[in-house]
Amino acid sequence: MTGARGLILTAILLSMVGGARAQDRPIGFLTPSKNIACQFFTDNGQGVLRCDIMNMDARPRRPASCELDWGHAFEMSAKGTAGLICAGDTVMDTSLPVLAYGEVWQRGGFTCRSEQTGLTCFNAMQRGFSLARGKQEVF
């Protein structure tokens, strides 16, 4: 193909590839310390927020039912409870944007606030978690 027709086809193909890349980018953020990362997912049409904390002063004891890592991964649905999850992976991704101290992130019914003392996230039901190096709480 030559001429205008070839250029149009090339432009269409490039825009399709670029669009696919944009959709593949994770949705979420890092705290300024880069110790906590959160990502938003859609699971069966429902929003899910997962946050992982890398460094903690103490890690909770792993339950016998968990054969993977325990204590670093917290998850909640948009209308359900929050809690620790047994996970062999992480949502830590250095390409995520940084949520500056004092800033708020909102998406799909979730709200997270980054502070120098840690990160607090909650859903529409006011369920959530507060994460900091010294203490992690689920509420």
Query: pLDDT tens-digit profile of 40-51?
Result: 999 888 999 999
Name the residue among 46, 23, 22, 26 with its Cα closest to residue 108.
46
Domain spans in the chain, listed from the N-terminal domain onward: 26-138
Question: pTM to 2 decimals?
Answer: 0.82
Query: pLDDT tens-digit profile of 59-106?
Result: 999 999 999 999 999 999 999 999 999 999 999 999 999 999 999 999
Name the residue among 18, 34, 46 with its Cα closest to residue 114.
34
